[in-house]
Structure 1
């Protein structure tokens, strides 16, 4: 059995909402164990009260950073230092940054250069440079847990309809290119290889941002491709356009 990947989650509490933390942890559980959970911010600030309520239930360690100078974001610097300390510690195999601040783009690039994946989580206001540098990046609006009568119930990401998916020219081009590049001589491509091609060529892409947990579900939803199940488990996809 392969060794479980150890992930360090660093949260910029100053500019990202607390309502998605459950969804973020669930998403990271697909990739490994989040053994480091640090939440950075000025905990004397009343605006972080929502985050304060999330610390104990999710075993998140608060990292206090006082705002020494008005108008300056000391949290960013502290979080970068924390990340570099962890990078050199040898105790983690991957990083997850929960922030909507593009100032962390150089940090992501530095971590990637060391061979560590960086999973990004932020609001839809997050600037493209930071989004594009992560591998992948998921908008937290798709991971928000709603308070409902059913305790522990979480919202299902809003799925885009077939028509809306087809209207997304960048998405359609990406999917068709991936299927074409992964296809054998018979025109059929293994779904796993299609997913690998997308991950290797567009590392920030995530099907979750379209409301689908798996790339295979997203491809099916477009209804642009032929799908075939082989040997009961192996899924293959083909572009009928040839």
Structure 2
């Protein structure tokens, strides 16, 4: 099955399998944004022991609709989660439930799984941290390195009573330009030979990355109207009548 990043009659089916014992919950939203360009996510599973899943991972797995896959440790120091993840990945491939896999891990033990999946025709992406060894990076079709973001310290501001009051529903919503739209264009355009992406393809990607996404939520009548307000983006109509968008910095 051919991969189509911008949607098609037959989209790639993506499985996102997370080695929770080996990484941090903060990586999960980044992983979902990355894989949204490759197709429809049909499997979301997080693997770990009781301590991992019941504590630091519980909030993220629930909020992002992942199925927790609890693996008890049968002996001290033994990790059964890796075997469970690998077996589920092979089973999903053979059952034809998924043809594209995103493994969220920095553990080189998964390099062999990556090679076996690819031998069977699957596409394998890995989202990992800087500590990921070359043996793991090179076993995938594409490796995405997650870097822990620097904490943002906001200066406290004294809000007046008027500002603290509930917004007036009769007033139009102020137009906003969220940065994640620019990040989405940069991600998709980087995979394009012309450095641009169709507005329709961008819309499909944004919906996959965040099912609740709507330009109206940010005060815009539609996605094209929204994109035209960005200084960092350049929108243009092509000869065929469709619209494309690229980063303004890439325009000659």
**TM-score, reference length from structure 2:** 0.57
Give the SS at the match of 2:131.
coil
| 5+ residue gaps, structure 1 | 158-190, 195-229, 236-242
* Partners of 1:97 and 1:118 within 8 A in 2: yes
Corresponding residue for 1:19?
26
CA distance in 2, matches of 1:21, 1:147: 19
Query: 1:30-179 counterparts in 2 under 5 A?
Result: 30-42=37-49, 44-45=50-51, 49-141=55-147
| 5+ residue gaps, structure 2 | 1-7, 155-177, 184-191, 196-237, 247-252
CA distance in 2, matches of 1:88, 1:78: 15
Offset, 1:50? 2.2
Q: Give the direction of change, closer, same or farther, for the CA distance of 1:23–1:148 in structure 2 (3 Å limit).
A: farther
Whose Rg is larger? 2
Q: Give the direction of change, closer, same or farther, for the CA distance of 1:6–1:115 in structure 2 (3 Å limit).
A: same
Give the SS at the match of 1:133.
coil
Query: Per-residue CA shift, 1:162-204, capped at 9, x if unaligned?
Result: xxxxxxxxxxxxxxxxxxxxxxxxxxxxx6289xxxxxxxxxx
CA distance in 1, matches of 2:11, 2:27: 24
Once superposed, which parts of structure 1, at least 4 consecutive aligned residues long, lie more than 6 Å away?
Answer: 145-149, 230-233
Give the SS at the match of 1:45.
helix
Aligned residues, how many? 163
Give the SS at the match of 1:18.
coil
Structure with a larger share of its residues in helix: 1
CA distance in 1, matches of 2:80, 2:30: 27
CA distance in 1, matches of 2:94, 2:150: 34
* Partners of 1:10 and 1:38 within 8 A in 2: yes
CA distance in 1, matches of 2:147, 2:21: 17
Offset, 1:145? 9.4
CA RMSD of aligned residues (A): 3.3
CA distance in 1, matches of 2:77, 2:84: 16
CA distance in 2, matches of 1:57, 1:18: 11
Q: Give the direction of change, closer, same or farther, for the CA distance of 1:57–1:129 in structure 2 (3 Å limit).
A: same
**TM-score, reference length from structure 1:** 0.59
